[in-house]
A and B are shown apart, each in its own frame.
Chain A
Amino acid sequence: MVENRPWMAWITHLVLLCGVLLVAFPLWVAFVASTHAGGDLLSGVTPLLPGDRLFENYRTVLGSGLSASGGVPVGLMMWNSLVMALSIAVGKIAISIISAYAIVYFRFPFRMLCFWLIFVTLMLPVEVRILPTFEVVSDLGMLNSYAGLSVPLIASATATFLFRQFFLTVPDELTEAARVDGAGPLRFFLDILLPLSRTNVAALFVILFIYGWVQYLWPLLVTTDESFYTIVMGIQRMVTVADAEPQWHLVMATAVLAMLPPVAVVVLMQGLFVKGLVETEK
């Protein structure tokens, strides 16, 4: 709708500003809290301006962690989360782009059956199949390992479907031109299809990285060894400490740190992300 009413511009901006404040205020509080000493936050008045303990607090969480919750350094947990999120994102994209390629470009028996089998797994997210999946992972001896954290989450119907839809829009002539040029299936995939899917891959990477980063239930199940704890689990453990006051300033510092990688991924890949969702460049 294109309208030009000056007061509408004010109202829309006001609404948008309210939205921004609603989202940004908790983040601000978290940041402010992470810059104060522990005692300041327990006094009953939440400070709204940054304090002077910024470097000290962050050094503590990154280096030694919280003694009350096992003393796992946040740096290690972030590393674990990063490995998990990256494995999931890269694995999901790799597997789904290959299976979409097979389904769209090759005629093999039960092709549509395969597609539908992949598609119905949409109805079986981790939470639904968590017990059997745990059983399998534990039988394979993958508890407390990066493989156990990421492999069961890698299969992705959504990404396969997305790539399939994209491949269907690639003109047949392009495939035929490549065949006449002498490109075999692998060359066509690597030289033509993959570069064309660049923006889709980027968009999916953003979504899937965040999906992997925020996983909570699954890591909680498959890790008992503290050196494999992920950051999201870590925050939760910091809050529910037994027989001690929660160290809110350090919890908040951890939360702020946990937010940084997803933000970085979104900011860095924003251009490609939007292109991938909106534009089809052919």
Chain B
Amino acid sequence: MAEICMRGVRKRYGDTQVIHGIDVEIADGEFIVIVGPSGCGKSTLLRMVAGLETITEGEISIGGRVVNQLEPKERDIAMVFQNYALYPHMSVFDNMAYGLKIARTPKDEIRARVEEAAKLLELGGLLERKPRQLSGGQRQRVAMGRAIVRKPAVFLFDEPLSNLDAKLRVQMRLEIKQLQRKLGTTSLYVTHDQIEAMTLADRLVVMNQGRAEQIDTPMAVYSDPATTFVAGFIGSPAMNFLAGTVEADGHGLFLGGDARISDKGSDLSGLAGRAVTLGVRPEHLLAVGESEAEIRLGVELVETLGADTLAHGRPVGAAGTPLGDAALGGEAPGLITVRLPGLAPVREGERLPLRMAEGELHLFDPDSGRRIADV
């Protein structure tokens, strides 16, 4: 058990800086998920905690002990790799026992610990098998078993579920969550899958281009994204963005042409006249009757998912005029997505009248992409 503390952690490969200063405090027993697109540096950060990459600048401490100069084995960590990294020539038992054998744990204790872990992971009957005789899910469990038996202070997971099929992934996700709760071990989990991130994490670290864009609980990240990047990355389908200007009376947003959006739930009076990027989640655009319409969606594609219907299209004003820049002869806004509950009777080619759900506006600064706080 241990807390992890990162202070100003940076990583450079020659002249290329890939991590630009990360500060995180992770409490004992916390499950932290680092999420971000490929190439954002999340795996590098994890490998720096593991001791597989050197730390160019800054400090990482585990359990109050600065580990910058320590070998992986001295850091009291265990890691689960994406491709499992099981030793192919060793049986499941030997795979799990290898770390303990090196640490010169007594034989009977090794046996007891491996059997305990095998029971926990339902690997009981497979201990004598070789990794190649196991299915993907079983291999993943062995990899986790190898981490568990050493009773480390910290678990590190590097995209452990990416090689599994969709159904197994959901199942293993639940198992990892339960396991972590049962063991109460501090965990650092890297993934690019936002559903994994949302479901597993106590707190999320959303990374982009070597920076932590936001560090918060999954619901806070979802409901109050700090930047347009976070807003667009977390949530599926992604949040829609529209350019607009806050109206002088502070009760609505002018989107160009004859389109305006009003939101009684928000007080925009402090921002009057300011240009903003409006973010709105697909589920917060409601299909309404003709008279209530604020904007319309020129539907171009409909996806029926069963529980929901997704309508993709280009937004236009209430009377069908183009929005924003397009009204001034510039570029038309990109496709936006609307999530309608159930089997909505929407057809491609039609103009769908829409209204904003109240209190669900997200406003961002169009230049910096940062959230405008006082909405």
Contacts and interface: CB of A to CB of B under 8 A. Distances in A.
Interface stretch (B11-19, B84-92, B176-184, B344-352): B84-92
Interface in A230-282: 281-282
A177 B145 CA distance: 13
B88 A181 contact: no
B79 interface: yes
Bin chain B's interface residue count: 20 to 34
A182 B102 contact: yes
Interface of A: 171, 173-174, 176-183, 187, 191-192, 195-196, 198, 281-282
Given A180-B99, A196-B89, A198-B89, 4 more contacts: A177-B81, A180-B50, A181-B73, A182-B103
B123 interface: no
Nearest to A179: B72
Given A171-B83, A173-B81, A282-B88, A181 B99 contact: yes
B82 A183 contact: no
B360 to A, nearest CB: 43
B222 interface: no
Interface of B: 50-52, 71-73, 77-79, 81-89, 98-99, 102-103, 132, 146, 150
Contact of A181 (B51, B82, B98, B132): B98
A177 B88 contact: no
A180 B72 contact: yes
26 contacts: A171-B83, A173-B81, A173-B84, A174-B85, A176-B52, A177-B81, A177-B85, A177-B87, A177-B146, A178-B87, A180-B50, A180-B73, A180-B78, A180-B79, A181-B73, A181-B102, A181-B146, A181-B150, A182-B72, A182-B73, A182-B99, A182-B102, A182-B103, A195-B89, A198-B89, A281-B88
Contacts, number: 63
A187 B101 CA distance: 11
Nearest to A173: B85
A196 B102 contact: no
Contact of A196 (B79, B85, B86, B88): B88
Nearest to A196: B89
Contacts of A177: 79, 81, 85-87, 146
- Top 9 nearest A-B pairs (CB, nearest first) are A182-B73, A173-B85, A181-B99, A177-B85, A195-B89, A182-B102, A173-B81, A180-B72, A179-B72
Contacts of B87: 174, 177-178, 191-192
Nearest to B81: A173
A173 B84 CA distance: 8
Contacts of A178: 87, 98
Contacts of A181: 73, 98-99, 102, 146, 150
Contacts of B99: 180-182
A25 B186 CA distance: 73
Nearest to B130: A281
Contacts of B150: 181
